[in-house]
Amino acid sequence: MNKILFFIAFAISIAAPLQSIEKPGVELAIIVNKDNTLDKLSITEARLYWMRRGAQKNWASLKTIVLPVDRKGASMEKAMFYKLVVKLSESETDSYFAAKQYQSAENPPVKFASDREIIQYVADNKAAIGYVNIASLKEEDRSQVKVVCVVAE
């Protein structure tokens, strides 16, 4: 019996570091265009802007409506963003944006399949706000987009 317990404990001690190597802690970067005058957002503020809620429907300094950007399909980044920032299920969020679209002609978030496409869209649109894995941001991207919030589990 002791041998079995020792074997289980040994297996766990081996497996635990392996697991941490396979799933390193992911950090999300919430990004806006370089022309956006905001340099920092709390998670709550980022949520309000991304969801275009209340007065956060517009960028006051840019005088334009906010353009949220989302990921297509399922991804680790998307799951993390919805859990930690939006704090609603994807279905609830889709309903929320569908209602805003139907009620006031506000387009739902533009969706892209990769971080690279999101970075490019945010770089090209001064009103955009999106999220990417911070590891996807290259040095040259930082001259075109700004990280205003970092989210980690």
Binding site for another protein (CB under 8 A): 53-55, 57-58, 60, 63-65, 67, 87-96, 98-99, 101-103, 105-108, 110, 121, 126-127
Q: For residue 148, which of 80, 59, 20, 18 has the smallest C-alpha distance?
A: 59
Minimum CB distance to another protein, residue 107 (Å): 5
Cβ nearer to another protein, comparing 80 with 127: 127
Minimum CB distance to another protein, residue 26 (Å): 25
Cβ nearer to another protein, comparing 68 with 134: 68
Instruction: Please answer whether residues 64 and 58 qualify as being in contact, where contact means their C-beta atoms are separated by less than 8 angstroms.
Output: yes
Q: What type of residue is 135?
A: A
Cβ nearer to another protein, comparing 40 with 87: 87
Give the integer Cα–Cα distance in Å for 77 and 132. 7
Q: Could you please report the per-residue DSSP string of 26-40? A: PEEEEEEETT-S---
